[in-house]
Structure 1
Amino acid sequence: MPSPPAKPVTCVRGALALERAPSDAPLALALDQAQAGELADLVAKDLAGFVAGAGDLDLCMVAAHYDPAELLRPGWPLHEELLQLGSRAPGRRGGRVIAFGTHDGTLPGALTPSPALAEGPLRLLPFVLSGEPEDVAAVSDALEELLLETGMAGAGTALLAQEAFGLSVEHARYLTIHDLCAMTAMQYEHAGLAALWPVVETALLSPGREAWLDSPPEPLLRYAGGEVQIAMLSPDAWRRRYAGNEEDRERLATGYRHFEARQRQFAALLQAHAIPVTFSHCRDASDPHEELL
């Protein structure tokens, strides 16, 4: 049976990634419109330097920086918001540079970064490149091959971002959304969270599919229908699944507390990625999998 045709590439989703050094200096989350235009011009120049065809596409970006979890959400809402706002901008399509900054301290649409997620070491300025499908596809393929290895931002771009946002920038580079997924997967692994990433990845890249985390001693959870269910186990149900023949009450109590903390950690991470989470109580279930179906 022939495979279904691939979906046309309608835009390139990417970001200018700023790796920041620890600092107590005041931080600006977004720039005003004049600074946004200046930064966008530099970004457009950088991208055209990687792939000549990028200069023939419309660049639309917001001069605000976000946590990776704010970009890596089902449906790519930040990039979609940029596409929608950019589509309303005046001018003939092809080679436009469209920048969004603050007006009276406020960003347009749903572009406001979350202050609660502003302290991470990696900050991202999202952008989209759009145009004719065949042109977008060619630029997309080229950037997917180039950026992760050679996508350093120009010195002027990095300096402007550092000074305007008040960041202490150690590295400034460009990433596609798929590069960012790969980088985040590695970060999850280094943080001891590798077991959760396949669930997040399914929600991002294959939201119609189902994914389970069923790997003791990790919590049991299921992704389906756009949300995650986490199995909530009573102490006895947890002991049957995770503790084997352990009899020491203090060890059991400590193990159960660690398990509950891990559940809360996973729920918080999933919610940061805007993946809805519900808890399914499985106090009396001999097989908690049944409660999640």
Structure 2
Amino acid sequence: MQNQVAAVPAVLTVELDLDVVAQGQRPPEPLSSEAADSLCWAIADDLQRILGPLNDYGFVLLGGLYDLTEILRPGLPMVDVLSELYRRSLPDTRFQPQVMAIGADGDAFPIPEIAPRRRPGSGPLLAIPFLFLGEPENMDALGTKLEKNLLEKGRASLKTGQLVQDRFGIKALNLSFATFNDLCALMKIQLEHAEFGPLWTLLEAALFTSQPPARVELPEGNLLLVDGAQGFARFLTFSQWATENPGVTDPAAAYGRFQQIQRQYTAGLAAHGLSVQVVEDSADLRDDNLDQALSAARMGAMPAETLEVNEVVTDTGDWSDVAGISLTEHSRPGLGPVAYTVLVRSADDRVIHYANHYPLAPEGIQHIRAQWQDTAARYGLDLEFLQPGDILHNANGDQLLPWPEAMGANH
């Protein structure tokens, strides 16, 4: 019979100097097994001081500094991995309290799937995760005690603070204990303060298996859905977006804002471990029945490797008389390229091909440029690459235009 083990997760938060984080430094390497063990016992002593006797519970600590995006991931996999590790360590079918510290063995972390990623610029709030474990019927009371006391009373001792700073080689501004719910509440407040409140709605649906799927639709035209670890982001070309947003005073700025939010939200979801797929526009994405909307999203999802969205405006099909190819880059300050318009002309100045290309990733930018450089070379031409520094459109504000054709329109 397998051991039944339930877990209550928490962390020791470690606040770093924002100026240091802004320099793009990587978090320190995980501790050795010996150093992790020393820190584990110091933290266990702190927790007994704060919460009272904890001898009936198991305790597992990870000897590494993690960004919150590494901890708060769909389904909280770190909790599952550590719980299973603890369960397998038990000698028989009976639960037995024991203390485990997980540190590095040389350069290798023993559990690669939950090793600290040490991404440059992580922080300023990092965390040392740990779990209390026990028989399921005994864990609700402990969870309640942690929620009531840990954040309010949970300052680390001087001994623990010194160990953290010495062993990791960092300067910590503050060290406090917190539950996962505390971390979620903090993240929600931070996102709302930065005017990304709807992003938390999506993340909350992903993090906890008890949460239903979620959908958000933003005033700028962005529509996103989340079901577990899977995210969907509707993509709109400039023309599609203009159809939904008629009468906008400055279409270039407004569409640039749509693109900016699209990138911010998809990056935020991906940072927490969600797989985000771009979805073709469909009225069913707004269906009152969220299950139907999700079904439409799955049907309209582009393959993960898709680098660009192509929109052909005109194509005669006759490329026998190609005399010039231009590629106009549409961009916004601080955002970079959002689209490219290609114009292929004949010797008598007829339009052979007119299309818009929208990169979905940085690799898409290079792919689009290289594609048309190669095409021009096949016709013995030099690609005319134009960078006006803005999004160029027609007077109606519903179609991208190449440069210099756009010079006679409002843009």
- TM-score in same-fold range (> 0.5): yes
TM-score by length of 1: 0.87
Task: Name the count of aligned residue pairs.
Answer: 280
Contact 1:79 1:126 in 2 (8 A): no
Deviates further, 134-143 or 170-179: 134-143
What CA distance in whole angstroms lies between the structure 1 residues aligned with 2:162 and 2:189?
28
Deviates further, 82-91 or 72-81: 82-91
Q: Which runs of 5+ in 1 are unaligned?
A: 1-7
Deviations 1:225-283 (A, max 9, x none): 64121110121221233x4412x5xx21222122112111111110111122111122x
What CA distance in whole angstroms lies between the structure 2 residues aligned with 1:271 and 1:187?
18
Question: What does residue 100 of structure 1 align with?
Answer: 102
Q: Which runs of 5+ in 2 are unaligned?
A: 288-292, 297-411
What CA distance in whole angstroms lies between the structure 2 residues aligned with 1:90 and 1:228?
37
Q: Which amino acid aligns with 1:43?
A: I
Question: What does residue 49 of structure 1 align with?
Answer: 49
Contact 1:147 1:175 in 2 (8 A): yes
Superposition map of 1:1-293 within 5 A:
10-21=6-17, 22-23=19-20, 27-89=27-89, 93-109=95-111, 110-116=113-119, 119-206=122-209, 209-217=212-220, 219-224=222-227, 226-241=229-244, 243-246=245-248, 248=249, 251-282=250-281, 285=282, 289=286, 293=296
What CA distance in whole angstroms lies between the structure 2 residues aligned with 1:9 and 1:17?
25
Gap change, CA 1:187 and 1:26, over 3 Å in 2? closer
> How far did 1:163 drift?
1.5
Q: More helix per residue: 1 or 2?
A: 1
What CA distance in whole angstroms lies between the structure 1 residues aligned with 2:78 and 2:283?
42
Deviations 1:173-202 (A, max 9, x none): 111111111111111112221121011101
Gap change, CA 1:216 and 1:85, over 3 Å in 2? same
TM-score by length of 2: 0.63
> How far did 1:53 drift?
4.0
Gap change, CA 1:208 and 1:286, over 3 Å in 2? closer
Q: Specify which structure has the bigger relative contact order, considering alpha-carbon pairs within 8 angstroms and separated by 6 or more residues.
A: 1
What CA distance in whole angstroms lies between the structure 2 residues aligned with 1:140 and 1:94?
19
Deviations 1:71-90 (A, max 9, x none): 11112111222222223336
Gap change, CA 1:148 and 1:253, over 3 Å in 2? same
Deviates further, 60-69 or 190-199: 190-199
> How far did 1:20 drift?
1.0
Describe the SS at the equivalent of 1:60. Answer: strand
Deviates further, 222-231 or 184-193: 222-231
Contact 2:59 2:131 in 1 (8 A): yes
> How far did 1:210 drift?
2.0
> How far did 1:111 drift?
2.4
Question: What does residue 3 of structure 1 align with?
Answer: none
Q: More strand per residue: 1 or 2?
A: 2
Contact 1:48 1:54 in 2 (8 A): yes
Contact 2:5 2:83 in 1 (8 A): no
Question: Identity of paired residues, percent?
Answer: 30
Deviations 1:144-185 (A, max 9, x none): 111121111111111111111122111111111111111111
Contact 2:232 2:278 in 1 (8 A): yes
Contact 1:270 1:277 in 2 (8 A): yes
Once superposed, what is the RMSD of the aligned Cα atoms?
Answer: 2.4
> How far did 1:128 drift?
0.7
Question: What does residue 397 of structure 2 align with?
Answer: none
Deviates further, 141-150 or 214-223: 214-223
What CA distance in whole angstroms lies between the structure 1 residues aligned with 2:81 and 2:121?
20
Describe the SS at the equivalent of 2:65. Answer: coil
Deviates further, 172-181 or 25-34: 25-34
What CA distance in whole angstroms lies between the structure 2 residues aligned with 1:33 and 1:226?
32
Q: Which amino acid aligns with 1:273?
A: H
Question: What does residue 328 of structure 2 align with?
Answer: none
